[in-house]
Structure 1
Amino acid sequence: MTATQDSASESDDEDDTFEEQRARVDKPMRRLFRQYGSLHRRPLGIGLGASLFAHTLALLPPFVLGLAVDAVFLQTEPYDLPLVPDSWLPTGQVDLFWLSAGIVAASFFLSALFQWGKGWGLSVFAQRVQHDVRADTYDAMQGLDLGFFADKQTGELMSILNNDVNRLEQFLNGGLGVLTQLLVTVLGVAGLLFYVNPQLALLTLVTVPIIAVFTHKFVQTIQPMYADVRSTVGRMNSRLENNLGGIEVIKASNTETYETDRVTDTSQEYYDTNVRAITTRVKFFPGLQLTAGIGFVITFVVGGVWVFQGAPGPFSGPLSVGNFVTFVYLGQRLIWPMAQFGQLINLYQRAQASAERIFGLVDEPTDLPEREDATDLVVTDGRVEYDDVTFGYGRDDDEDATVLDGVSFDLDSGEMLALVGPTGAGKSTVLKLLPRLYDVDSGAIRIDGHDVRDVTLGSLRESIGYVSQETFLFYGSVKENIAYGTFDATDEEIREAAKMAEAHEFITEFEEGYDTLVGERGVKLSGGQKQRVGIARVLLQDPDILILDEATSDVDTETELRIQRSIDRLVEDRTVLAIAHRLSTIKDADQILVLDDGEVVERGTHDRLLDAEGVYADLWGVQAGEKSALPNH
C-alpha cells in the first residue's frame, strides 16, 4: 500500500462526515421494522407466512421417504405418520407406496405455490419500505439548514439516498427469506430428527452451537468494516460528482491527469476498504460450510456403522435403514441453510451500516427549528426591519467567524433598499437572513412587526421572492423552469412574467420556444439568459417582498437597463432589497446601505452618499472611471 493510501486509511474517521450522525442512532434495524414494518403488515405477513409453509413442506419428502423404505420396501417398521390416526392409513403395500408418492408430490406442489407467495409478499414489502424510506429521508434532508449542506458533499448525500436505501431493500427482500428458511429448517429438521432418533439427533446438531460462536466472531469483525465501506462509497461518489460537475474547468485547466490521480486514489481507498471486508467474508463462508459438512460426515459415518453393526459406543437401541436415510437427507438439507446463515449475517450487517447513515441523516437536527406556536405570516404592508443583527457562519464562540455585526435598518412598503460594498462585506448574508436561510445569532428581523422566527417557514418564504446571483435551472423546459413554484400558472401568465423579465424575446427565438430544454443546470443557456429566466420565475410567484442578490450581474448593460425598468414598476406595490453589480442601477433606490467588514458604515440616498465622499463615493468613482482604484483603507 502506498503512503497516500496509508494516509487515507488512517484518516477514515476524520473523512467520514456522517460519523457523528451514525453514532447517535440506536438499534437502527429495530427502528426500521417498528417505523415502516407496521405500515405494510399485509405483504410482510403474506411473505413470512408463505415462507414458513414453503420451507416446512420441503421437509416432508425426506421424512416420508424414510417411512417408505422401512414400511413399504423393507416392511420392517409400521407406517407411522405423526398426527395421523392409523385407521386413516391404507394397509396394503402398494397403497402405502402411492400414498407416499402422493404426499411427496403434494408437498412439492404446495411448496412451490407458497414460494411464489413468499416472493410476492417480501418483494412488495421491500419495495414499499424502500420507497417510503427514500421519500422520508429526502423530505428530512430538505428541512435541514444551508449550513448542513455546506459541510456535506452532494455525492455523500446521493450515496445515502441511493446506495444505502438499496442495501435495505436487499436485506428486506433476500435476507428475510433466508432468515425464515434458516429458522424453519433448523427447528424443523431438529424436531424431525429428535422424533426419529434423539441420540443421533444430538450428534447431528452438535455443530450448531459451534457455528453460532463462529458467526458471533464474524459479526464483531465485519460490522466496523462495513461502516468504513459505506463511508468510502460516499467519498468516492462525492469525488466523481464534483469532477463531472466541473468537467469544463478541468478541461480548460488541463488538469485531467491530476483529477484522474485523485479519482484513482479515492477508488483505491474504496478498493482497500472493500477488500478487507471481502477477505474476512470469504474466509467465513467456507469455514462455515466446512463446519456444517463435518457434522454431516459424522452423522453419515456413525449412522452407517449403527445400521451395519448396531449401536456404536455410548449409543443404544436400533437404527433402521429408513431412519438412516431420513438422517442423511435431512442432514444434507441442514448444511446449505447453515452456510446461508453467514450470508444472512452479511446482509444484515451491510443493512445495519446503511440504516445508521439513513437514520443519522433523518435525525440530524436543524439550526432553523419552527416553533410549536408559530403562526402563518400575512404580509399587509411589507415593512422590513433589521434590529441590531449579528451573525456568523462559524461557532458562536469564534469571534473571527462573525460576518455581520450590529446591522440595523428599516424599510417601508414599496421602498427599495440597495446594499453595496466591497466583496466579502456581508451583503448577500444580509439578504439570506430575511427568508431564514440562516438564523441570526443575536438581534431580530421583523416583517410588519412579526419576528421571522415566530412565523411558519412556509408562509415566510411564500411571501418572499429570492433571485440569487447564481441562478439554478432544473433539467426541463424553459416554461417548466419559469413556472417552478407556481405550478398552476397558465401559459399566458408565464409569457407575461417572461416579458417583464426581458426574457420573452430570446425565448421565442429558440426553435422550440418555451418548450426548449435548458439542459443540465441550464447549460444550454447563457448566464444572462439563465438570470432572466430566474427573474421571470420569481415575478410569476408575485411575492410581497422581492430579494435581488446581484440578479443582473451576468447580463449586458442594455438588458440590465430593461430589467431595471421592470423592477421599477414592481417597486410600486412591493418591498425590494437588492445588491447591484453596477451602482448605476441602484442610484434611484430609496435607501443605500454601504457595508464594510460586516458593519453598516454609510447610509443614505445616492446624492447624499456622493456628497459624503466616503466608501460609496470611492466605489462610484472607480466604476465611473474617475478613480483608478479604491483607497487602501
Structure 2
Amino acid sequence: MGTAEDETSVFEEYRDRVDRPLARLFREYGSPEIHWLIVGMVANVLARASSLLPPVVLGVAIDAVFLDRTGYSLLFLPDRFVPAGETAQFWFSVQLIVAAFVATAVLTWVYGVAANNFAHGVMHAVRVDSFEKMQSLDMWFFDGKQTGEVMSVLNNDTTNLERFLDNALQNSVRLGVMVIGIAVVLFSENAQLAALTLVAVPLMVGFTWWFMRAVEPRYTSQRESVGDLNTRLENALGGMQLIKTSGTESYESDRVRDASYSYFQDTMAVLKLNYLYRPGMELFAGLAFATTFVVGGLWLTTGTAPGPLTGTLSEGQFVTFLFLTQRFTAPLAEVSNIVDSYENAKASSERVFGLQDVPRRITDREDAVALDDPDGRVVYDDVSFGYEDGDPGAPDTGEASSDGAWADGGSPGTVDADGTGGVDETSGTTETDEPEEWVLESVDFTAEPGDTVAFVGPTGAGKSTLVKLLLRLYDTDTGAIRIDGHDVRDVETASLRSSIGYVSQDTFLFDGSVADNVRYGEFDADREAVVAACEAAEADEFVRNLPDGYDTRIGERGVKLSGGQRQRLSIARTVLQDPEILVLDEATSAVDTETELLIQRSLDRLAADRTTFVIAHRLSTIRDADTVLVLEDGQIVERGTHDDLLAEDGLYAKLWGVQAGEIESLPSEFLDRARERRAETLSDDD
C-alpha cells in the first residue's frame, strides 16, 4: 500500500476539482487590489497609444512641412490647435513627438508601479493564506508526505502567478492596444494599403492558435518532468548520509541523470516550438513590411496606384506605414511568453486552490471550552482508532532496537471517497466508516494528576498513536479521551495543546539563537527564565561554552549541535512552557548512555508533580512509573508497576530480561510477530 501515492492522489483530486482557477484568483484575491489593476491597465493603454503618435506626426510633418503638399492635419486633433506657417508647424511637430515620448515614459512608470502593486499584493495575500491553510491542515496531510507539494505552492506557484499578473496580463493588454491602434491609424491614413498590409494579421492569428494547441501538452510534460527532477534531487539531498554509507553514489547519479535528461528533452520540445514560433511571426511581419514597401514604393515612384488599388499615397503616409508595420512584430512575438505564463499560472492557481480546498478534520466545536490550568486527570475510555478501507495512511516508522525494545509512530486514515474527510463542521469531529484495520482497540486506563504512565510494546503496537490522540492530532473512532472530565473534542484545540508539553525523539530546532529556540512558544520570556530552563534541562553548561553563549546561532535544524545537545534544548523549551501534562516520546532513544543519564535527570525534574506519559525505549527509564501499559496489536495486554509486571513473567518480563542481559533472546513467537510487523511496514514504505 503506497500511502504517499494515496495522499498525493487526494491532493491532486482537489486540484482537479478547481473550476476556472484564474477567474477564482481574480474574484477572491484580485478584488481588494482592483484599483491598482485599473490604474495599471489605463496607464498601459495610454502609454501604448502615446508610443504610436511619433510615426503619425512624422508622416504628417513630411507631407505638410517638408514637402508642402497637404495641410497639417492630425487624427483626433482639432485644426484650431495647429499653428500656421511651416516653421511653427515644424516646432509644433517636435513638441508633439517629445511630449509623446515623455508621456510614454511617465505612463509606463505609472503602469509598472501599479501593475506590480497589484501583482505583488495579490501574491502576498495568496502566500500568507496558503501558509495559514497549510498550518491548519491535520497531521494526516503531512503524514502523506506533502511537504514538497506545499513548498512548491508557497514558492514556485506564487512566483508563477506573480509573473502572470505582472507581465503576461499587461503584455496581453499591450498586444491588443498595439494591434487595434495600429490598424485604426493605418486605415485612417490609407484604407486600401492598410487592408493589404494587415492581411498578415489573420495569418499570424492562425499561426498563434496552432502554436498554443501544439505547445500546451509540451508545457504539461515539462512541468511534470521538472517536478520529478526536483523530487529526485530533494530525496538525494535528504538521504545523503544513506547514499554515502551505502556506496550508492553512482546509482543516484544515474537516477538524477535520467530525470534531468527527461527534463532536458521536454524543455527542448518546448523550445523547438518557441524558436519556430518567434521566427515565424517575424517572417509574417517581414512579409507585411515587404508588401507595404513594394506596393507603397511603386505607388510613389509611378504616381499611380498599382493593380486594383485606387487613389493617392503621400510620402508621409508611406513613412507612417513603414514605421507602424514594424511595430507589429514585437507585441505579437510576445504571444509565446504570454501563453507560457498563462499555462503556468493556470496550473499554479489550480495547485494553490487545491491546497486551500483540502478539508480539515480536526476543528473546534462552536461551543468548545478553554482548558485552563487543568489538574491533569486523564482518562482513556474504550478508545479505538484505525484506518478506513484497511489503508494505514502512512506506514508505521518504528524500528526494532538492538536491546529488544521498539519505537512506533502513528498515522491517520485517508479522506472519505467524497474528499471531505468526513468532517462534521458543526461538531468538529470526524465521521468515518468503521475501519477494517484497527491501530488501537478498546483501550481503557486512567492517569491521576501527577501520575507517570509508561507505554511499552513492539513496533506498530500503537504507543505513539495513543499520545497523538491525546494531543488531538487525530480523533478517536470510538470512545473518548478526557482531561479533568472534558472530552478533548469539546476543548479548544489551542488551549489543549498549550497544556501539554511534548518531547519527541525527533527534536526540531529553528535556525536562530539558542535563546530564541528555548523561548519558542513563550516568546515573552526574559533571559533569566531561559537560563533557568536550560539549567533545569542540564543544558546551561554546554550553552555557555558555545562561541556566543545563548546568542549562538545553531544553524538549520540545530545542525551545529550534537543530538544530545539538541534534545536538552528541546527539554528546556518544554520546561519554560511549564505544561500541566507531559508527553515523552522516546526522548532518550537517539543518544549515548552518558548523555541519556543527563537527559533522564532533567526529565525526572520536569515530570515531577505533572501527569506524564512516557513511551519507553530503554525500560530502565520507566522503573519508577506509577503504571506501565504493555501494548500489542493495539490492545493493552499487561498493566501494572514495574515489579508487578516482572512478577507476572509475561511479555514485559521477557523484554526486561533481554535488556538486563538475563535472557539471551526473546521467545521465537514474539520475534516472529515482530518480523511480520516489520515486513508489513517495509512493504508499506515501498
> 1:489, CA displacement in angstroms?
1.1
Say if 2:422 is the partner of 1:386: no
Q: Distance in 2 between matches of 1:454 and 1:148?
A: 23
Q: Deviations over 1:13-71 (max 9, x none)?
A: 99989543431222222222233323334443443332222111111111111211222
What is the CA RMSD across the aligned residues, in angstroms? 2.7
> Which residue is 1:150 aligned to?
143
Matched residue SS, 1:59: helix
> Which residue is 1:579 aligned to?
615
Matched residue SS, 1:471: coil
**Residue 473 of structure 1 contacts residue 481 of structure 1 at CA under 8 Å; is this kept in 2?**
yes
Task: Name which of 319, 323, 335 aligns with 2:329.
Answer: 335
> Which residue is 2:29 aligned to?
36
Change (3 A) 1:225 1:539: farther
Q: Distance in 2 between matches of 1:378 and 1:334?
A: 70
**Residue 380 of structure 2 contacts residue 444 of structure 2 at CA under 8 Å; is this kept in 1?**
yes
> 1:124, CA displacement in angstroms?
3.5
> Which residue is 1:128 aligned to?
121
Say if 2:213 is the partner of 1:220: yes
Q: Distance in 1 between matches of 2:284 and 2:433?
A: 59
Q: What are the residue-to-residue correspondences of 1:174-573 with 2, within 5 Å? A: 174-307=167-300, 308-387=302-381, 388-392=383-387, 393-394=392-393, 395=414, 401-557=437-593, 559-573=595-609
Matched residue SS, 2:639: strand
| Residue identity in the other structure for 2:645 | L
**Residue 68 of structure 1 contacts residue 79 of structure 1 at CA under 8 Å; is this kept in 2?**
yes
Q: What are the residue-to-residue correspondences of 1:51-90 with 2, within 5 Å? A: 51-90=44-83
Q: Distance in 2 between matches of 1:168 and 1:156?
A: 16
Q: Distance in 1 between matches of 2:481 and 2:224?
A: 40
| Residue identity in the other structure for 1:32 | L
> Which residue is 1:627 aligned to?
663
Change (3 A) 1:631 1:107: same
Q: Distance in 2 between matches of 1:455 and 1:301?
A: 83
Q: Deviations over 1:461-504 (max 9, x none)?
A: 21211111111122222222211111111111111111222222
Task: Name which of 626, 648, 661 aligns with 1:612.
Answer: 648
420-429 or 219-228, which moves further after superposition?
Answer: 219-228
> 1:374, CA displacement in angstroms?
3.8
> 1:334, CA displacement in angstroms?
2.0
Matched residue SS, 1:386: strand
> Which residue is 1:7 aligned to?
none
> 1:559, CA displacement in angstroms?
4.8
Q: Distance in 2 between matches of 1:169 and 1:100?
A: 40
Change (3 A) 1:318 1:481: same
Q: Distance in 2 between matches of 1:242 and 1:192?
A: 58
> 1:354, CA displacement in angstroms?
2.2
Q: Distance in 2 between matches of 1:203 and 1:129?
A: 44
526-535 or 359-368, which moves further after superposition?
Answer: 359-368
**Residue 64 of structure 1 contacts residue 104 of structure 1 at CA under 8 Å; is this kept in 2?**
yes
Change (3 A) 1:343 1:309: farther
Task: Name which of 581, 592, 599 aligns with 2:628.
Answer: 592
**Residue 538 of structure 2 contacts residue 598 of structure 2 at CA under 8 Å; is this kept in 1?**
yes
Q: Distance in 2 between matches of 1:356 and 1:509?
A: 51
13-22 or 231-240, which moves further after superposition?
Answer: 13-22
Say if 2:40 is the partner of 1:26: no
> Which residue is 1:8 aligned to?
none
**Residue 475 of structure 1 contacts residue 519 of structure 1 at CA under 8 Å; is this kept in 2?**
yes
Matched residue SS, 1:20: helix
**Residue 205 of structure 1 contacts residue 295 of structure 1 at CA under 8 Å; is this kept in 2?**
yes
Matched residue SS, 2:358: coil
> 1:324, CA displacement in angstroms?
2.2
Q: Deviations over 1:200-258 (max 9, x none)?
A: 33333333333333323322333333233333333322322232233233222222222
Q: Deviations over 1:93-138 (max 9, x none)?
A: 2221221121111111221222222222223333333333222222
> 1:571, CA displacement in angstroms?
4.3
| Residue identity in the other structure for 1:354 | S
Q: Distance in 2 between matches of 1:229 and 1:171?
A: 18
| Residue identity in the other structure for 1:138 | F
**Residue 405 of structure 1 contacts residue 598 of structure 1 at CA under 8 Å; is this kept in 2?**
yes
473-482 or 453-462, which moves further after superposition?
Answer: 453-462
> 1:399, CA displacement in angstroms?
6.1
Q: Percent same amino acid at aligned positions?
A: 53
| Residue identity in the other structure for 1:624 | A
| Residue identity in the other structure for 1:380 | P
Q: Distance in 2 between matches of 1:463 and 1:228?
A: 49
Q: Distance in 1 between matches of 2:230 and 2:377?
A: 45
> What is the aligned residue count?
622
209-218 or 542-551, which moves further after superposition?
Answer: 209-218
Change (3 A) 1:518 1:91: closer
Matched residue SS, 2:668: coil
Change (3 A) 1:556 1:326: closer
Q: Distance in 2 between matches of 1:75 and 1:13?
A: 79
Change (3 A) 1:523 1:194: same
> Which residue is 2:422 aligned to?
none
Q: TM-score, normalised by structure 1?
A: 0.91
Q: TM-score, normalised by structure 2?
A: 0.84
362-371 or 580-589, which moves further after superposition?
Answer: 362-371
| Residue identity in the other structure for 1:471 | T
> 1:199, CA displacement in angstroms?
2.9
| Residue identity in the other structure for 1:414 | G
**Residue 154 of structure 1 contacts residue 238 of structure 1 at CA under 8 Å; is this kept in 2?**
no
**Residue 440 of structure 2 contacts residue 635 of structure 2 at CA under 8 Å; is this kept in 1?**
yes
**Residue 386 of structure 2 contacts residue 435 of structure 2 at CA under 8 Å; is this kept in 1?**
no
Change (3 A) 1:407 1:224: farther
Matched residue SS, 1:173: helix
Q: Distance in 2 between matches of 1:166 and 1:153?
A: 19
Q: Deviations over 1:78-103 (max 9, x none)?
A: 21123333233222122212211211
Change (3 A) 1:423 1:343: closer
130-139 or 91-100, which moves further after superposition?
Answer: 130-139
Q: Distance in 1 between matches of 2:13 and 2:135?
A: 19
> Which residue is 1:110 aligned to?
103
**Residue 384 of structure 2 contacts residue 439 of structure 2 at CA under 8 Å; is this kept in 1?**
no
Q: Distance in 2 between matches of 1:16 and 1:212?
A: 38
> 1:416, CA displacement in angstroms?
1.5
Say if 2:159 is the partner of 1:166: yes
**Residue 281 of structure 2 contacts residue 329 of structure 2 at CA under 8 Å; is this kept in 1?**
no
Matched residue SS, 2:165: helix
